[in-house]
Amino acid sequence: MLDCLNGKEASEIVEREDGFFDVSSSLGGARYYFADYKDWHTREKLALRYARGNTIDIGCGAGRVSLYLQKKGLEVLGVDISPLAIRVCKLRGLRKARVIPITKLEPSVGTFDTIVMFGNNFGLFGNPKRAKWLLKRFYNMTADNGRIIAESIDPYKTKDPAHLRYQALNRKRRRLPGQLRIRVRYRNYATPWFQYLIVSKAEMRKILEGTGWTIRRTFESRNGPYTAVIEKVKQS
């Protein structure tokens, strides 16, 4: 992202544990991290209408969502595990940006009306068990009418043999088919291996059970990606 900000052509490689990899240039490359609102996916535009109040953007990347909401007058905190991503956000004018991994988010960070997890960042939950733990934590760091706006992709909307084989492997390991172990590479850099979770809408609903959250509505694309507006369950 920093190279892209400085005018260089940049693409990241996502490598899966079974040897499969994809290059982000085929998905729009690093440029989408900087995309203007007019160039966003329609599902993102529709879902972001539900953002309100004090907002935290988890996995903020280059800050496209945070900066848009900041311009709209919302108080926004962008957080990311990458120090250089946070540097890019600050260079682009984001007033509040911090290096915080998702597992370190807790009420001491603040109380929020909206949590944004764009860019398939529902995947940052990693696995169902950790997702439930974090969702309960998010419940305690959001207002009574708090909401989460999160993106994922339905792993079953594929005919790619490589993905189907990996899903079969996951079933044998008693994991969700979309439970991935990946790392991200760029030039001579590589992240540690980490878990990443992509889920269908039905699987997302199952994960939300017992956490105090429920899906209000979803906005979908034809090929699998969707954005969910998730709200707190009203207590009787």
Q: Does 17 fall in a domain? A: no
Structural domain harbouring 63: 40-182+195-232
Q: Does 58 fall in a domain? A: yes
Distance between CA atoms of 78 and 65, rounded to whole angstroms?
9
First to last CA, the chain: 46
Distance between CA atoms of 47 and 25, rounded to whole angstroms?
25
Q: How confident is the model at residue 168 (pLDDT cuts 50, 70, 90)?
A: very high
Q: Does 33 fall in a domain? A: no
Q: Does 29 fall in a domain? A: no
Q: Token pair 């290059």 is at which residue?
A: 23
**For residues 114, 63, 121 and 124, what is the CA-based torsion angle, rounded to 10 degrees?**
-100
Q: Which pLDDT value is given to residue 130?
A: 97
Q: Which pLDDT value is given to residue 188?
A: 92
Distance between CA atoms of 233 and 236, rounded to whole angstroms?
9
Q: Is the pLDDT of residue 26 over 60?
A: no
DSSP state of 126: -
The CATH number covering residue 49 comes to 3.40.50.150
Decide if 56 contacts 112 (C-beta within 8 A). yes
Residues forming beta bridges with residue 194, ordered by sequence position: 182
Q: How confident is the model at residue 235 (pLDDT cuts 50, 70, 90)?
A: low
Q: Is the pLDDT of residue 16 over 70?
A: yes
At 192-224, the pLDDT tens digits run: 999 999 999 999 999 999 999 999 999 998 888
Distance between CA atoms of 185 and 190, rounded to whole angstroms?
4
Q: Does 21 fall in a domain? A: no
Q: Does 92 fall in a domain? A: yes
Q: Which pLDDT value is given to residue 24?
A: 73
Mean pLDDT of the chain: 94
Q: Does 2 fall in a domain? A: no
Q: Does 3 fall in a domain? A: no
Residues forming beta bridges with residue 190, ordered by sequence position: 185
The distance from CA 236 to its chain's CA centroid, rounded to whole angstroms, is 31
| Domain count for the chain | 1
